Structure 1
Amino acid sequence: MKKLVKVLTFLVPFGLGAFVSTAQQVIVEKPQPKKIEVTGSAEEEVLPDEIYVSISLREYFKDKDNKNKTDIMVLEKQLQKAVEEAGIPKENLTIGNINGYREWFGKKKPTIFLESKNYVVKVPNLYKIDGIIAKVDEKGVASTNIERYEYSKIEALRQATKIKALQAAKAKAKYLLEGIDEQLGEALEIYEIDNGYSPTPVYAMRAAKMEMMSDAAPMPESTIDVQKIKVRYEMKAIFRIK
């Protein structure tokens, strides 16, 4: 009788463990919610409010026999005054580069050194650039070049464009569901689509060079705007169908 009790005591826990193990393997799958997946896009264009213009000045001789050199500091002061009169802060004018070269005359050693400086001026638009250059000795202006465009509130513009793209996705999902008598629920997932688009394509623009001729007359201020900066984004969203 004692042996029988021992056997039963051993078998009951074993059988209970097998039952629990089997119960744990039962997975109750919840029904997946009905959902709709859509994409929306938005695009914005703004005029750049920070334009960086390069102006190159160089020393030159007033006479053909290489006398009466116009010093680079004279040209620089002319440029500084022109920038100030245009209402541009002096800190917006900086030196970008300094170069120099010597002239050779036959087999003699070079004795004449001419210096050139490159300046970068930041302006909110291009309207006054022509007027600034016209106030500098035209023979001392080697060239000008638009280096790049920027927009000071580009991050805020990017965020606003993304929100508009997401709103466009929601509007699309809503009218699609209304077409089949369904109602739009809450958003389940939101993704930003990376399609390799650069939101600031102005950095890839070709620089607009304006070579200055020695006999060019002073030019009036231009009234033509620069190319706009374009930002575009796509957003993907998954919504529940009620």
Structure 2
Amino acid sequence: MYNNKTLLSIAFLFSSLTLFSQRTIPEFSYEVRQPYIDVTGTATKEIAPDEIYVLISLIEKTNEKGSSIQSQEERIRAILNGLKLDISNIKLSDTRSEMMMVDNKEAGIKTTKDYVLKLSTANEVSEVFGRLSNANIKVFKILRITHSKIDEYRKEVKIAALKAAKEKAEFLLNAVGEKPGRALEINEVSDYNYPWIRNSSNMQAFTPNAYANSSVSISEEGNFTSGSNFREIVLRSTFQVRYAIAQ
């Protein structure tokens, strides 16, 4: 028979084994990083604009003879008919009137009607601008340049940029006997388009992605320069892609 001391010893040993069994033994751990390669792919496409929007402002001043808006509208219709352009491509955009002041005295009323004319080619723009100037209509400028399929072309450029990144990863890894695995990250670095307009010897460029809100004057009041021409709209897309290196 066990005495009290023996029973206490057995109980202590059991509790010690229980406590020991509840301990966790830390294991050596480390982070296994997936080997990867970062590459950048860029694609560019140039397209000739087929939608050119021109602002034409007709101005009538009550203190000037021969400047009625009605007569100017008739001249515009004659110009469009003479060039065999669809009259439905010109739309009224805005109309406004304001008091003219000279030496702090009322000097008559100035009325302005803005029209937006849609053209398709640089030649049409040059022809229209020349005839507007000859018809004594002096305020006109290009509002916006784009292409009817620009969204489709942008997608094509993005796809081409991604393919260029994949091809770069393949030939770089092939040089060291490796192959790219799946794409871990895809980041679009830039997406922009540059429409260019050349006016005489001065060539200006719209800012990327904002040309719809910009305007470049081919004609200023009383100053028309013939021979205006356009360069293509430049679409460019760049992607940075991280590929896993196949194991």
Regarding TM over 0.5, the answer is yes
Which residue matches 2:174? 178
> Which amino acid is the alignment partner of residue 228 of structure 1?
E
Shift of 1:138: 4.4
The verdict on how the C-alpha distance between 1:186 and 1:2 changes in structure 2, with shifts beyond 3 A counting, is same
Deviation at 1:163, TM superposition (A): 1.9
Q: Distance in 2 between matches of 1:190 and 1:231?
A: 23
Give the C-alpha shift of residue 137 in structure 1: 8.7
> For the Cα contact (< 8 Å) 2:49–2:120, is it kept in 1?
yes
The residue number in structure 1 matching 2:58 is: 57
2:9 to 4, 7, 11: 4
* TM-score, structure 2 normalization: 0.69
Runs of 4+ in 1 over 6 A off after TM superposition: none
Give the CA deviation at 1:227: 2.4
- Gaps (5+ residues) in structure 2? 1-5, 196-205
The CA deviation at 1:31 is 4.7
* C-alpha displacement of 1:169: 1.9
In the TM superposition, what whole-angstrom CA distance separates every residue of 1:28-86 from its partner, at most 9, and x where no partner exists?
Answer: 5475444333222211111222222111222369xxxx785442123224424644664
Amino acid corresponding to residue 3 of structure 1 in structure 2: L
Higher mean C-alpha displacement, 95-104 vs 69-78: 95-104
Residue 207 of structure 1, CA deviation: 0.9
Looking at structure 2, the residues matched to 108 and 173 of structure 1 have their Cα atoms a distance apart, in angstroms, of 72
Q: Quick check: 1:199 aligned with 2:199?
A: no
Q: Are the counterparts in 1 of residues 90 and 115 from structure 2 also a CA contact under 8 Å?
A: no
Q: Which residue of 2 aligns with 1:228?
A: 232
Q: Displacement of 1:15 after TM fit? A: 0.5
5+ long unaligned stretches in structure 1: none
Which of 149, 161, 164 is the aligned partner of 2:145? Answer: 149
> Higher strand share goes to which structure?
2
Mapped partners of 2:191, 2:155: distance in 1: 14
Alignment partner of 1:166 is 2:159: no
What's the Cα RMSD here?
3.7
TM-superposed deviation, 1:145: 0.9
- How many pairs align? 223
Report 1:38-49 matches (<5 A): 38-49=39-50
The 8 Å contact of residues 36 and 241 in structure 1, kept in 2 or not, is answered as no
Match of 1:72 in 2: 69
AA aligned opposite 1:87: L
Deviation of 1:119 after TM superposition, in Å, equals 2.0
Report the CA distance between 1:170 and its aligned residue.
Answer: 1.8
**CA deviations over 1:140-178 (Å, ceiling 9, x no partner):** 412211122123433333332222122112222222233
Amino acid at match of 1:53: V
| Cα distance between partner residues in 2 of 1:122 and 1:103 | 35
Separation (CA, whole Å) in 2 of partners of 1:87 and 1:27: 80
Cα deviation digits, residues 206-228 of structure 1 (max 9, x gap): 714224759x9xx8xx7x75222
Tell me the amino acid that sits aligned with residue 210 of structure 1: S
TM-score where L is the length of structure 1: 0.70
Q: Which amino acid in the other structure matches residue 54 of structure 1?
A: L
